[in-house]
Amino acid sequence: MAPRRILIGIAGGSGSGKTLVARTIVRELGTDRVVVIDQDSYYKNLEDVPFRDRDSRNFDHPDAFDSELLKLHIRELLAGRGIDQPVYDYSAHRRLDETRRIGEHHIVVLEGILIFVDPELRDLMDIKLFIDADPDIRFIRRLRRDLVERGRSVDSVIKQYTESVRPMHLQFVEPSKRHADVIIPEGGHNKVAIDLVKTKIRDLLRERGVETIAADPGVRVG
């Protein structure tokens, strides 16, 4: 029977640098058998909600996510089976008809603000990382991302941050830090922490009889 795949959870506030850490780990490991799963892809589909009402939804509460589908897909990947991951349109707050086919990988990296809130999801993780960053840095990063990548306006980003992002961070995200195995300040720029995580991952691969692969500039990220 094939060894159980490895699941690395990367949590932290919005704009903390989770994606940079995920990409750094993948690049430094040097393997094309790693996939990054973004919790944001599993937002519930608001297609049946009138468009004018979608922006008022709280997207930073655990109930905003289709957690059951996410857990099902993670279990499938850890068992070595492929999935059809949803593709989410952030500007329209709905799922697209297309999906993203993800096949077999030795390592699954799951990143998201609330992935440590669900105990069932936490129990699936081999390594839990929490990325810590100052609130002002997180806000600036989120503002830049939402303007450039998600087609948002400055006013809508500020409104969402004050009404839901910040209070939900204090209620759910920050307390979930206690479940982390490692807390990483400065995110992907913290080379010492990244090196420690890489060593642990390689140890897990060896324990499960999976040969590590040398660094490859054409590494696959997601």
Instruction: Using CB atoms within 10 Å of the CB of residue 46, give its burial: 0 to 12 exposed, 13 to 18 middle, 19+ buried.
Output: buried
Q: What is the pLDDT of residues 171-196, one digit of tens each?
A: 999 999 999 999 998 777 888 988 89
**What domains sit in the chain, N to C, each tagged with a CATH number?**
6-207 (3.40.50.300)
Considering the entire predicted model, what is its pTM? 0.87
pLDDT in tens, 56-74: 789 999 999 999 999 999 9
Per-residue pLDDT reduced to its tens digit, 106-142: 899 999 999 999 999 999 999 999 999 999 999 999 8
Residue partners of 172: CB distance under 8 A and separation at least 6 = 60, 61, 62, 113, 114, 117
Assign 212 a pLDDT band (cuts: 50, 70, 90). Answer: low
